[in-house]
Amino acid sequence: MQDAPKDIAAIHDYHAHVYYDPASKDRAATLRQWVEERFPGQMRMGSWHDEQVGPHVQAMYQIAFPPDLLPTLVPFLMMNRMGLTILLHPQSGRPRDDHTLNAMWMGEVLPVKTEVLREVG
């Protein structure tokens, strides 16, 4: 249990990880295109990772975006994910907590390889 609420000013930006497999990659590509068209220059679209990378156990790409985009980008992802699983987490400088305790899932909750995430005190 924590003694006081955490300061949300610690959140520098957010990551949305869009997961896919060979059968759903076309939907992931469509969603990616829609995000790029509707939020140009407002977010950073990550590379396609067709194999597991970092703490992620499934193929994915990442969308990095600033806090001021949260009220519009996240509802867009919610309404247009076409059955894809998305992990949304803050970037607060505490990677393990951000990918687990502070994360939100859209769709299936997937395992996260926490052993590869460093944690700071």
pLDDT score recorded for residue 118: 79
Task: State the pTM of this model.
Answer: 0.93
Query: Do 75 and 102 meet the contact criterion of CB atoms below 8 Å apart?
Result: no
Predicted confidence (pLDDT) per residue in 20-39, tens digit: 999 999 999 999 999 999 99
Domains with residue ranges and CATH for the chain:
12-109 (3.30.70.1240)
Amino acid at 107: G
Sheet with 60-65, edge to edge strand ranges:
44-45, 60-65, 13-19, 86-91, 104-106
How is the chain split among helix, strand and coil, in percent rounded to 5? Answer: 30, 25, 45
Amino acid (1-letter code) at residue 71: P
Which residues share a beta bridge with 104?
Answer: 88
Among candidate residues 71, 77, 66, the one with its CA nearest the CA of residue 31: 77
